[in-house]
Structure 1
C-alpha cells in the first residue's frame, strides 16, 4: 500500500486578523488533512499574536521580529517546512486566500498522476466566482489560460495564492528571496524551481482570493499613497527578467517603459512621482543581485 504523502501549509500574515481567521479555518477543515499548519506572522499587532497563540498546537506559530514583507515571510515559512518537518510538500498562500474544502485533495489527486513536478497552482477565483485578475495563469506559449480550461497544463510561473511546492524542488533551487520584500517574489521563485522540474496549473483545485476589488496591480490607476511600493515591482521585475531567455527577457525589460509612456501622456494623479518611481526601480533592478539561500532540510 502506498504511503500517503504529507503536506505542510504556510500562511503569511500581517495585521489582517478577520481574513486570517477565515483562511485558517478553511485549512483546518480540508478533506485531505494537513500534517502541519505553519503561520508566519510578520510582526502583527497584539490581537493577531494573541489569537494565534490561543490556537495552541493546532498550528506551528512563527512570529518574526520585524515585517519582512511577503517575500521574507515565505522565505521563513519554507525554511521552517524544510528544517522542522519531513513533509513531502509545502502549500503556500497569503492570509486572504480562502481554500475550498477539496482544494488540497484535488492537488493530491493530480500529484498521484504526475508526481514529477516543482509546483502545482490552483485556479484562483475572486469572491464573485470569476477569475481573480491578480492571479491569471498562462500556457507555456504565453497565451492566457481561460476560465473554461478543465485540464491540468504546464505553466512557467504562478503566484503565492495556493501553490503546492515539492520538497525536492526546494532542495535543488533554494528558498524564496527575502530581499524582494513584496511583488514578484512568487514569479521569480516559481520560474526558478520550474527549471528543476515542470510546474502545472491544476484547475480542479480551486481557491478564492478575498481581495477588496478584482483588478491587477497598476501604477497608472493606483492611489498616490501606494506609489512608493511600485519601486519593488519594477526593481524585482528587472531582476527576474535577467534570468530568462533572450526573448522573454527583452519583452519584460521593455514593459516598464511602456508603462512610463502611458503614464506620461495620461491624466493620472501624482504623475511626477509615478514616473520617478519607474526610473528608480528599473535602475535598481539592473544592479540588484540578492543571495539565493539554500537549505539542507531535516
Structure 2
C-alpha cells in the first residue's frame, strides 16, 4: 500500500494544486495523510474517507509534518509513502511510474524528476553518488535518463521504502528546522541502501532560484557565492546547515575548501546584518 503525505501551510493560490493532487490520488485509490499547520479554515475542505488530517497546534516545520506522515504509515502497515509539497503537481503517471521501477531496484527511496512548473525544465534537486560525499554539485539533467543512483534529494517527489525505514529506525532530523533537513534525511537513507532518480516520473515545482539552474552557475554558487541567496531571512540558517552536512558527510579537499568558504560567508552575512542594524 502507498500513503501520500502532503504538508499544508497557508497555501493561498496553491489550494488548487492540492485539490488537483487529491483528485488524482483518489482516482489511483491512494490514501493521503495531510499535515495542516496554522490554517484551521482549510481542514474541512479535505474531508474524505481516504484522507487523514493531522492538525498541528504549532507552526510546525516541514520535517515535523513529514515525520508524522511516516509514523502514520508505519503504524498502519503501509509499504511506501510519497511526499508532495503543497506547491507541487503530480500526474496520473507520476506514482504509477515509480511503482513499475520499484520492482527493479533494492532502494531506500526513489525520487521523481522535479521539473519547473513554467517550462518543464528539470530542476537540480539531486546529489549524485560520486564518492558518496555531500561536497559535490548536483547531477546534471542530461544524466537523468539513466535513472542514476542518488544520495540526496528534496522532499517533494520522494518515494520512501517504509519497511527499510522501520528496520533501521531512520527518521527526519527536525533540528535542521527548514533548510537542508531533506538532504540530511535522504543522505542517511542512502548510506544504508541506495536512492534512485526516476526520470519518467515527473512532479512540478516552482523554480525559486535559490541557485542557478545550470552546471557552471551551480558550481559558482556552491564553491564561491554560497551566501547570495534570494530568501534573505534564511541565509545564515542555510549556510549553517549546509556546513553541518559537509562536516558530517563530506570527503577530500573539497570538504575543507567548501567549509572554509562557508565560514567566511557566514561571517560576511553577520557583518552585513550588523551594518543594516547600525543603519
Q: TM range, normalised to the smaller chain?
A: 0.7 to 0.9
Asked whether the equivalents of residues 8 and 91 of structure 1 are also in contact (C-alpha less than 8 Å), the reply is: yes
SS for the counterpart of 2:70 is helix
CA distance in 1, matches of 2:7, 2:275: 31
SS for the counterpart of 1:22 is helix
Aligned pairs for 1:56-67 (under 5 A) are 56-67=48-59
Q: Residue in 2 aligned with 1:128?
A: 118
**5+ residue gaps, structure 2:** 131-135, 212-225
Q: Residue in 2 aligned with 1:152?
A: 147
Q: Does 1:97 align with 2:98?
A: no
Asked whether the equivalents of residues 81 and 162 of structure 2 are also in contact (C-alpha less than 8 Å), the reply is: yes
SS for the counterpart of 2:42 is helix
CA distance in 2, matches of 1:232, 1:256: 11
SS for the counterpart of 1:208 is strand
The superposition leaves residues 84-140 of structure 1 with CA deviations (integer Å, 9 ceiling, x where unpaired) of x211111012111101220000101110111x100111111112234354x432432
Q: Residue in 2 aligned with 1:241?
A: 246
Indicate which of 228, 231, 236 corresponds to 1:220: 228
- Counting matched residue pairs gives 254
Asked whether the equivalents of residues 30 and 104 of structure 1 are also in contact (C-alpha less than 8 Å), the reply is: no
SS for the counterpart of 2:114 is strand
The structure carrying a bigger helix percent of its residues is 2
Q: Does 1:119 align with 2:119?
A: no
* Cα 1:159/1:187, change in 2 over 3 Å: same
Q: Residue in 1 aligned with 2:45?
A: 51
What TM-score comes out, normalization by structure 2 length?
A: 0.80
SS for the counterpart of 2:18 is helix
Asked whether the equivalents of residues 19 and 96 of structure 1 are also in contact (C-alpha less than 8 Å), the reply is: yes
Q: Residue in 2 aligned with 1:293?
A: none
SS for the counterpart of 1:99 is coil
CA distance in 2, matches of 1:102, 1:50: 28
What CA RMSD, in Å, does the superposition of the two structures yield over aligned residues?
2.8
Indicate which of 61, 65, 74 corresponds to 1:82: 74
CA distance in 2, matches of 1:173, 1:237: 24
The superposition leaves residues 118-174 of structure 1 with CA deviations (integer Å, 9 ceiling, x where unpaired) of 0111111112234354x4324322464333331211011000010001013322142
SS for the counterpart of 1:176 is coil
**5+ residue gaps, structure 1:** 1-5, 265-269, 277-298
* Cα 1:168/1:219, change in 2 over 3 Å: same
Q: Residue in 1 aligned with 2:235?
A: 230
What is the Cα deviation at residue 179 of structure 1?
A: 2.2
SS for the counterpart of 1:56 is coil
Q: Residue in 2 aligned with 1:290?
A: none
Q: Does 1:139 align with 2:128?
A: yes
Indicate which of 2, 8, 18 corresponds to 2:13: 18
Q: Does 1:174 align with 2:170?
A: yes
CA distance in 2, matches of 1:128, 1:196: 36
The superposition leaves residues 2-49 of structure 1 with CA deviations (integer Å, 9 ceiling, x where unpaired) of xxxx110111110014314423422431598254200111222x3323
